[in-house]
């Protein structure tokens, strides 16, 4: 019976593809999360507020 050689070059290429795609998906999740924080945290019209908004502006909300 022939043994399956798992270290064939084909498997290396597949592994690189799978790891690459995994890394891309993790980065994508990170970007969407970061975007959410950036968007929600910088809207001067919401309660989370923009930290640099002046007290005057905040009072008028």
Partner 1 sequence: MTDTTTIKQDRDAGFGDFVALLKPRVMSLVVFTALVGMLVAPGGINPFVGLVAIIFIAIGGGASGALNMWWDADIDARMRRTVKRPIPAGTVEPGEAMGLGIGLTLISVIMLFLATNWVAAGLLAFTIFFYVVIYTMWLKRWTPQNIVIGGAAGAFPPMIGWAAVTGDISLASILMFALTFAWTPPHFWSLALFVKSDYKDAGVPMLTVTHGRRVTRNHILGYTFVLAAVAVGLGLTSVGGPAYMAVAVIMNAWFIKGAVDIWRRTDADSDADSHLVERKFFKFSLLYLFVHFGMLLVEVTLTRFGMGGW
Can you give the binding site for partner 1, defined by CB under 8 A?
A: 2, 9-10, 12-14, 16-17, 19-21, 31, 34-35, 37-39, 42
**Minimum distance between the CB of residue 59 and partner 1, rounded to whole angstroms?**
24
- 46's CB contacts (< 8 A; 6+ apart) are 40
From the centroid of its chain, how far is CA 30? 1
- 17: tokens are 């593809």
**Minimum distance between the CB of residue 60 and partner 1, rounded to whole angstroms?**
22
Cβ closer to partner 1: 36 or 61? 36
């Amino acid at each position: 019976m022939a043994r399956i050689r798992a270290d064939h070059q084909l498997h290396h290429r597949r592994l690189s593809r799978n790891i690459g795609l995994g890394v891309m998906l993790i980065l994508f999740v990170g970007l969407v999360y970061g975007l959410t924080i950036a968007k929600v945290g910088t809207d001067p019209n919401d309660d989370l507020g923009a930290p640099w908004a002046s007290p005057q502006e905040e009072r008028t909300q």
